[in-house]
Structure 1
Amino acid sequence: MDLLIIESLEAEVMQWLESRYAIRYAPELASDPRAFRQALYNVRALIVPPSVTIDAQALHYAPVLRAVGRVSAGAENIDLDACSRARVEVVRGLTATAQAEAEFMIGALLSMLRRVPVVGSDGMLVGRELGAATVGLVGMQPSARVMAQMLAGFGSKMVGYDPALHASDPVFERWRVKPMGLRELLEQSDAVCVQLSYFSRYHGLLGERFLPFCKPNQVIVSIAHSGLFDEASLADALNSDRVAAAWLDSLEPGALDEGRPLHGIENLQITPRVASTTRESRLRSAWAVARRIDEMLGATPNATRTFKATMPGEPTDLAAEPQLP
């Protein structure tokens, strides 16, 4: 079998793949790990949802697997190191969700700055304007580039930090973002947007070492894995009003349970990973993943159309997609 698809795809993308490969569409395998592993023996490529784990054990059952596709945002369910050892490429549309994520963060900032008041110079409780804010970008991901473009339109000042980039990296100048250390960024920012890719070495990065230095009345929006935050330190910052409000679009199960630090905190808002999930972003991501898998596996003789292969990090022009019957 060429391709096993467990995550639902847009109809036109599915038809495009079916015209080229032997495909099995089996969403029921997402809830049956044993059957899923048994189905991997002759599979050359996979497209999986967030609920399906790809680790060393699963890869053991997939001797001819070459690619694992991920249409939805994030890759926490995929062991990237195990895939690298097995020479299995993890295929994602890295820029496909940038616009959706940036729009979400802008909306969250506007909401928090206006809805969570501060004391003005005349003693009145008032909201704030995004255009007058210094916005800190933690993680120079594709969504941060779109954020920088949008924030420039508001007139916001932008500062940025990424542990994987040196302050002299040209990306900061290109995106018109002033590089800073993480503590300095938190000290100077009225609003902070976190979109840093999660690795185990970053677990708890935003914790007691940095959060106590947040600028008073700061607001934080995060579309990153919640493991970047130390729960107790975030709870302390929110309860002390040093952080006026936080909005997390991803939170590990049970983090709000009674007895956990974030339980019952009123100025913390949680959404279930909706930042990246739009009709447009899913279509862009599905095309990027499908095209890269097609490039890797090679078109079959029954393919009748020509196409331009698209790397996962390359924006897709949807208007130029092939028209399917």
Structure 2
Amino acid sequence: MTKPAILITENINGRWIKELKTRFTVRIEQNLWKSPDKLKNILPDYSAVIVRNQTHLSKKILVKGTKLQIIGRAGAGLDNIDVDVASQKGIVVSNTPDQNSISVAELTLGMMLSLARKLKPAHDHVLEDGWQRQRFMGTELYDKNLGVIGLGRIGFLTSLRANALGMNILAHDIYVSPDAASVTETHAELVGLEELLNQADFISCHLPLTPETKHFFNYEQFCRMKSTAFFLNLSRGKVVDEEGLIRALQEGEIGGAGLDVREKEPPEKGPLSRMDNVILTPHIAAFTQEAQERVTSAVCKDVTSVLEGDAAKNFVNFPKPKSSQALI
């Protein structure tokens, strides 16, 4: 009997991938995400596909997945997968919603500290044989207001850690009630967006990318913030209008920014890379050894379960494949 075949389109490896290879036929092409036409042409041969965030599984590609039973997303976001089309085709979509949350929360705190204490320009100054300490007067996190937009798992873990540092948590999330654990355990105050933007010293974005959240942060929003406020985005790049952010930074409307994600990835070099009050990282929030071990484990277990006739644990549409339906 022929083993089911699994296609991996990005750089995903480790012991859990080796385990997959003992059960199934596994093909790894870590740069396949750059060639959507090639992906479309070979997809009919596979029962499962495992991706990160760079592979775009659009309707045009998914209609070719005639054998496809499951899409395993090694990460939380689903904006690169047409989940509706996958569901119409009877394909299980599985992701890893919590496995990298700690790593993202820790990097958020790291960026906050780096911005508050001007670590990047101070580091560069010392490398140039400088020692002018007075140029790098920073600010404490203690007793400052952290505004968290999106109080899901990552927003909650970020708030919990910030609260332990003595920060006051202001949260905005229309789907969270005042008696939710994410509010009570972090001593957060649920507030309206306007109040959060006006009062926060640090603003951390933890929103998924949807049609409603695209460019949620624009020039007008940045102008509502304190001129000393620091803005952080470790969620999705297109949640921020980068032209508006650049303008706000150039005009001194906000104090600085930390971005792990960009509107276009990889981004072109531009004004943000030349600003001392901006920290840029290449979408590494979830890239720790521990997080990737958890992520890879979870996605491989779900793929294995589905291909062997069992239910996925972290499914976002249904736990087992359903009969394919004709697409309009």
**Does the alignment reach a TM-score above 0.5?**
yes
1:110-121 map, 5 Å: 110-115=113-118
8 Å contact from structure 2 (residues 99, 294) kept in 1: yes
Structure 2 alignment gaps of length 5 or more: 122-134, 317-328
Q: Which moved more, 1:74-83 or 1:155-164?
A: 74-83
With normalisation by structure 1, the TM-score equals: 0.80
Instruction: Return the offset for 1:268.
Output: 2.7
1:277 and 2:287 are equivalent in the alignment: yes
Q: Could you tell me how far apart the structure 1 residues matched to 2:29 and 2:274 are?
A: 40
1:157 and 2:160 are equivalent in the alignment: no
Moved over 6 A (4+): none
Superimposed CA distance per residue, residues 166-186 of structure 1 (whole angstroms, 9 cap, x where no aligned partner): 666564234432111111111
Q: Could you tell me how far apart the structure 2 residues matched to 1:87 and 1:209 are?
A: 42
Aligned residue in 2 for 1:97: 100
Instruction: Return the offset for 1:129.
Output: 1.0
Q: Which moved more, 1:63-72 or 1:53-62?
A: 63-72
Q: Which moved more, 1:274-283 or 1:224-233?
A: 224-233
Aligned residue in 1 for 2:15: 12
Select which of 268, 274, 278 maps to 1:268: 278
Superimposed CA distance per residue, residues 189-212 of structure 1 (whole angstroms, 9 cap, x where no aligned partner): 111111211112211111244221
Instruction: Return the offset for 1:128.
Output: 1.3
1:1-325 map, 5 Å: 1-27=4-30, 29-72=32-75, 74-115=77-118, 126-165=137-176, 171-253=182-264, 264-298=274-308, 310-311=313-314
Instruction: Return the offset for 1:3.
Output: 2.0
Superimposed CA distance per residue, residues 49-95 of structure 1 (whole angstroms, 9 cap, x where no aligned partner): 43322000111111231221122564443223332333333322111
8 Å contact from structure 1 (residues 7, 27) kept in 2: yes
Q: Which moved more, 1:107-116 or 1:227-236?
A: 227-236
Superimposed CA distance per residue, residues 285-307 of structure 1 (whole angstroms, 9 cap, x where no aligned partner): 0011111222222269xxxxxxx
Aligned residue in 2 for 1:305: none
8 Å contact from structure 2 (residues 44, 67) kept in 1: yes
Instruction: Return the offset for 1:104.
Output: 0.5
8 Å contact from structure 1 (residues 137, 192) kept in 2: yes
**Amino acid in structure 1 at the alignment position of 2:26:** I
Q: Could you tell me how far apart the structure 2 residues matched to 1:240 and 1:198 are?
A: 27
**Amino acid in structure 1 at the alignment position of 2:286:** S
Instruction: Return the offset for 1:45.
Output: 1.3
Superimposed CA distance per residue, residues 230-287 of structure 1 (whole angstroms, 9 cap, x where no aligned partner): 23432232123231110111113386556xx858544333211011111111110001
Instruction: Return the offset for 1:107.
Output: 0.8
| Superposition CA RMSD, Å | 3.0
**Amino acid in structure 1 at the alignment position of 2:38:** A
Find the residue that maps to 1:95 and give its secondary structure. Answer: coil
Structure 1 pair 310/73, CA: closer, same or farther in 2 (3 Å)?
A: closer
Q: Could you tell me how far apart the structure 1 residues matched to 2:190 and 2:84 are?
A: 30
Find the residue that maps to 1:132 and give its secondary structure. Answer: coil
8 Å contact from structure 2 (residues 160, 185) kept in 1: no
8 Å contact from structure 1 (residues 251, 270) kept in 2: no
Q: Could you tell me how far apart the structure 2 residues matched to 1:269 and 1:137 are?
A: 19
Structure 1 alignment gaps of length 5 or more: 118-123, 301-307, 314-325
Structure 1 pair 159/114, CA: closer, same or farther in 2 (3 Å)?
A: same
Aligned length: 299
Find the residue that maps to 2:148 and give its secondary structure. Answer: strand
Aligned residue in 2 for 1:320: none
Find the residue that maps to 1:3 and give its secondary structure. Answer: strand
Q: Which moved more, 1:262-271 or 1:101-110?
A: 262-271
With normalisation by structure 2, the TM-score equals: 0.80
Q: Could you tell me how far apart the structure 1 residues matched to 2:313 and 2:139 are?
A: 42
Identity among equivalent pairs (%): 23
Q: Could you tell me how far apart the structure 2 residues matched to 1:95 and 1:310 are?
A: 12
